[in-house]
């Protein structure tokens, strides 16, 4: 079985979602046998060849061309699809990022592949592919069956652990000649409020509506600093203007998976849970004993956070 993952360069580096796609690709390879190939396109993708020499990856194909410096659909889909056509894979895996959700349908169209988006799991049954995908913003899941051995799937960032163990990989470097499409990107504009990247922290202290008032954010931020973490939040906090959008956790914002996630006054709406459910350890404090967040928490405390936090900080300072 031939498995192809489409990698992604974002902000000058290989995206974390690329390593998650490799994890799923390697899992399919272990279950069915075959070869796993990663295709990475860019102006100078060779600079990432060392970090992408990963255990389980058979071939790393690097497509180089100046026109691939900034992503545009026509250039990328043409370059990547031409390479995939030569491999003739059974399954193609694309991260469901802002770039991937634009690129994947184009590749599927050019190659004539059926596409399943938002995949949480996929297996080859012998007659075709059986996948589980998320629908209605994570409120429901459905099983989808594709007849035949060809399928393209997209996976959400944070749904799979990264595959990063270094090993020897066969590296193939190719210079491609791609002309710019009709749409010509000029630059990537970062959000003005991108103060920190909450996905990079091992500890997150996340606040919800139950924090009570904007003034109470100060004590939550103090807790985060004492734990060498960062302050994040659920959507109501952003809607009220208390924290910037870049601090929001959820399927419509940032997907995170820290070692420790502390939820303060967060009830646990589906959108929020989908953005943090894969955290290693989830600790929730909420005065509502029936809050949905407790269903996915490893540890839960039924209490008013404004009563509990000062006591917790006092003990930590000791």
pLDDT of 52 strictly over 70:
yes
What is the distance in angstroms between the CA of the first residue and the CA of the last residue of the chain?
A: 58
Give the number of domains in the chain: 2
Task: Assign 95 a pLDDT band (cuts: 50, 70, 90).
Answer: very high
Q: Which of these, 287, 314, 298, lies nearest to 209 by C-alpha position?
A: 287
pLDDT tens digits, one per residue of 192-216: 555 788 988 999 999 999 998 898 8
pLDDT at 135 over 60: yes
- Asked if residue 209 and residue 84 are part of one domain, the reply reads no
What whole-number distance in Å separates Cα of residue 224 and Cα of residue 313?
Answer: 10
Whichever domain contains 207, its CATH number is 3.40.50.1220
Domain presence at residue 187: no
Indicate whether 33 and 153 sit together in one domain: yes
pLDDT at 161: 86
Q: Which of 35, 28, 6, 12 is nearest to 95 (CA)?
A: 6
pLDDT of residue 260: 96
Which residue did the predictor score with more confidence, 252 or 144? 144
The DSSP secondary-structure symbol of 11 reads: T
155 lies in the same domain as 50: yes
Helix/strand/coil for 80: helix
If asked whether residues 41 and 72 sit together in one domain, one would say: yes
15 and 126: one domain? yes
Question: Rounded CA gap, 12 and 119, in Å?
Answer: 27
Residue 88 domain-assigned (yes or no): yes
The CATH number that applies at residue 54 is 3.40.50.620
Q: Is residue 171 domain-shared with residue 202, that is, in the same domain?
A: no
Together in a domain, 80 and 208: no
Question: Cβ contacts of residue 171 below 8 Å, gap of 6+?
Answer: 49, 53, 59, 60, 62
Q: Report yes or no on 127 lying in a domain.
A: yes
pTM value is 0.76
Domain hosting residue 40, numbered range: 2-175
Helices (H) and strands (E) in the chain, counts: 7, 17
pLDDT recorded at residue 194: 58
Coil/strand/helix, residue 29: helix
pLDDT given at position 157: 82
Q: Supply the pLDDT for residue 134.
A: 81
With a CB cutoff of 8 Å and minimum separation 6, the contacts of 270 are: 137, 138, 139, 251
């Amino acid at each position: 079985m031939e498995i192809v993952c489409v990698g992604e360069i974002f902000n000058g580096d290989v995206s974390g979602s690329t390593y998650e796609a490799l994890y799923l690709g390697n899992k399919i390879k272990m279950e069915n046998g075959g070869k796993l190939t990663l295709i990475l396109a860019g102006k100078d993708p060779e600079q990432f060849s060392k970090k992408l020499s990963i255990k389980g990856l058979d071939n790393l194909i690097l497509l180089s061309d100046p026109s691939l410096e900034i992503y545009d659909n026509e250039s990328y889909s043409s370059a990547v699809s031409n390479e995939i056509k030569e491999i003739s894979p059974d399954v193609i895996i694309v991260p469901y990022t802002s770039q991937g959700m634009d690129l994947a349908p184009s590749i599927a169209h050019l190659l004539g592949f059926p596409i399943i988006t938002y995949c949480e799991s996929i297996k080859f049954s012998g007659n075709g592919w059986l996948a589980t995908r998320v629908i209605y913003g994570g409120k429901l899941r459905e099983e989808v069956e594709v007849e035949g051995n060809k399928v393209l799937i997209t996976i959400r960032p944070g749904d799979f652990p990264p595959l990063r163990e270094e090993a020897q990989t066969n590296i193939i470097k190719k210079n491609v000649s791609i002309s710019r499409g009709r749409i010509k990107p000029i630059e990537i504009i970062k959000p003005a409020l991108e103060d920190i990247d909450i996905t990079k922290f091992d500890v997150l202290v996340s606040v919800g509506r139950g924090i009570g008032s904007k003034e109470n954010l100060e004590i939550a931020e103090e807790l985060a600093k004492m734990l060498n973490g960062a302050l994040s939040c659920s959507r109501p906090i952003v809607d009220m203007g208390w924290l910037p959008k870049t601090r929001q956790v959820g399927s419509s914002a940032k997907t995170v998976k820290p070692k420790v996630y502390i939820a303060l006054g967060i009830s646990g709406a589906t959108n929020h849970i989908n953005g943090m459910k894969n955290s290693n350890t989830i600790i929730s404090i909420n005065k509502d004993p029936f809050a949905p967040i407790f269903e996915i928490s490893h540890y839960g405390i039924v209490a008013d956070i404004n009563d509990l936090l000062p006591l917790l900080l006092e003990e930590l300072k000791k």
